[in-house]
Amino acid sequence: MRAAIFQGPEKIEIKDWKEPECSENEILIKVHYCAICGTDVRTFFHGHKKVIPPAIIGHEITGEVVEIGKNVKGPLKKGDKITPVTSIGCGHCRLCNRGLYNLCPDTKALGYYYAGGFAEYMVIPEPAVSQNAWVLLPENISLLDGALIEPLSCVINAQNYLDIQKGDTVVIYGGGPIGFMHAVLAQASGAEKVIMVDPAFERLTRFASLFSDLILINPTEDDTVEKVKHLTNGIGADVIITACPAKQAQMESFKIASPHSRISFFGGLPKDDSIIKLDSNLIHYYEISVFGAFASNRSDYQKAVDLISSGKIEPSKFITEVISLEDIVNGINLVKSGSVLKIVVRIQE
């Protein structure tokens, strides 16, 4: 099979690779599409502790079931179109028993520990099979659009904590694909005002034109705190989401928070520079709730499927370009440049 083999930082080779064998407890899928994630970009340039070269990365996957191990039970059948769930837990710890496989201390994810989607075929391994770690694509979701289910599921996981309601004002720091997914999902939940903040304002304005009713702030020209206070009659935002790896955004979020507001630190900070200063009295006296968000679980994938199937989320608005597997390095560089929203790799020609 053809596969993009990660050989180490800044080195991916497209080559013939041994097709994976499907054991009696596994499922083999023919990969059709795999989108490029920001984590794939970081892995390409810097490596990843859970990716041991030579390796196949990629986890925003859609594919077709071509073989089912004889011990695999359930309704799945050959020809089914599916999106695999990335996070695979140990299956027996306290967190896995609660369905929080993404937080399992021994998580082994597709595209990291296990071979991912930048190849013509991939196996859903036995631990994932035991966790039913996939979702079926309904007829009205194409395999291409399904490649957006994984990143959308991560956004849903974050917003599960935030309880966005009709009339809320939501501020989102970061104008990448995740930031815009947060914006559209917040609108679908009833938010009255959705405000996006990004110093790359030309890019923010260009992508915002694909969507509707977004308020944009250029922090290089306007004082974000003053602007948000003005837009909210001095009250502040009900929900703030930092969809970018920026300490300034995390610290500033408390300054624009209204009483009883909710803050999501969606974008992680560099491990060697992850300490921020904050006034904890703001949390105390304003009753502010602060949440983290990391990856997602099957229930979030299913919610993503339902949102796309109902038309509340339109994947085509987020997909800037579809490229061939041979062009994957160029695609990674495009994502790094910030000149695109989502790049999807077409695996089957």
Q: What is the pLDDT of residues 166-206, one digit of tens each?
A: 999 999 999 999 999 999 999 999 999 999 999 999 999 99
Structure tokens at 104: 């399992």
Positions of CATH 3.40.50.720 in the chain: 162-292
Q: For domain 2-153+296-346, give the fold.
A: Quinone Oxidoreductase; Chain A, domain 1 (3.90.180)
CA distance linking residue 191 with residue 318, whole number of Å: 20
Could you tell me which of 111, 60, 34, 86 has the C-alpha nearest to residue 347? 34
What is the second-level CATH architecture of the domain 162-292? 3-Layer(aba) Sandwich (3.40)
Three-class SS state of 285: helix
- The pLDDT tens digits for 261-297 are 999 999 999 989 999 999 999 999 999 999 999 999 9
CA distance linking residue 118 with residue 135, whole number of Å: 19
CA distance linking residue 57 with residue 182, whole number of Å: 25
- On whether the pTM is more than 0.95, the answer is yes
Positions of CATH 3.90.180.10 in the chain: 2-153+296-346
- The pLDDT tens digits for 216-253 are 999 999 999 999 999 999 999 999 999 999 999 999 99
